[in-house]
């Protein structure tokens, strides 16, 4: 399967997805504000405001669904050197943090998502509209 997160079109990857039973994940939302991060033993300190978001998962290829997530969250944990870190974020960052922490707890978005459906690629969408 994947050897690094960049082998797949993902923004995050949790250890259990690659058969490592440890509470650790990597994340790179690929925007200008946020550096890639390794987070060990993450803990959600606070979370606020629920929103329904479209979500997919590398462990459930080709599907998407709608799931209720918190809009903003604060997560603490350790970085790859064992230093304490605190990540505060919203948008895709907040969604990804919740998704990866779910993986560590054995939960997949499909356990809670509504309207689970095949993901349609941009090419397929264009073809359908043509």
Of 24, 39, 75, 96, which one interacts with ligand GNR (CB under 6 A)?
96
* Footprint (CB under 6 A) of ligand GNR, residues 35-54: none
Give the interface segment with ligand GNR, choosing from 39-47, 56-64, 77-85, 115-123 (CB under 6 A): 56-64
Residue 27 binds Ni ion, judged by CB under 5 A: no
CB of 59 to ligand GNR, least distance (A): 6
Is 122 part of the annotated catalytic residue set?
A: no
How far is C-alpha 94 from the geometric centre of its chain's CA atoms?
Answer: 8
Q: Cα–Cα distances in Å, from 52 out to 45, 55, 91, 99?
A: 21, 9, 11, 13
Of 29, 37, 55, 65, which one interacts with ligand GNR (CB under 6 A)?
55
Give the interface segment with Ni ion, choosing from 47-55, 56-64, 78-86, 122-130 (CB under 5 A): 56-64
Are the C-beta atoms of 72 and 24 separated by less than 8 Å? no
Residues 6+ apart with CB under 8 A from 46: 73, 74
Residue (12 or 32) nearer to Ni ion, CB = 12
Are the C-beta atoms of 117 and 77 separated by less than 8 Å? no
Residue with tokens 């960052």: 93
Question: What does the alpha-carbon distance between residue 30 and residue 48 come to, in Å, rounded to a whole number?
Answer: 23
List interacting residues with ligand GNR (CB under 6 A): 10-14, 17, 55-59, 95-96, 99-100, 103
Q: Show which residues are catalytic.
A: 100
């Amino acid at each position: 399967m994947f050897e690094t997160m960049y082998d797949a079109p993902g923004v995050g990857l949790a250890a259990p997805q690659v058969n490592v039973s440890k509470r650790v994940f990597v994340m790179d939302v690929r925007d200008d504000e946020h550096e890639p991060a390794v987070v060990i033993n993450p803990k959600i300190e606070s979370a606020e405001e629920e929103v329904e978001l479209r979500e997919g998962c590398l462990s459930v290829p080709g599907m998407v669904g709608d799931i209720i997530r918190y809009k903003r969250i604060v997560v603490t944990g350790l970085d790859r050197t064992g230093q304490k870190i605190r990540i505060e974020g919203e948008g895709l960052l907040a969604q990804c943090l919740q998704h990866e922490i779910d993986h560590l707890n054995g939960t997949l978005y499909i356990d809670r998502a509504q309207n689970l459906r095949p993901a349609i690629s941009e090419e397929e969408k264009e073809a359908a509209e043509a």
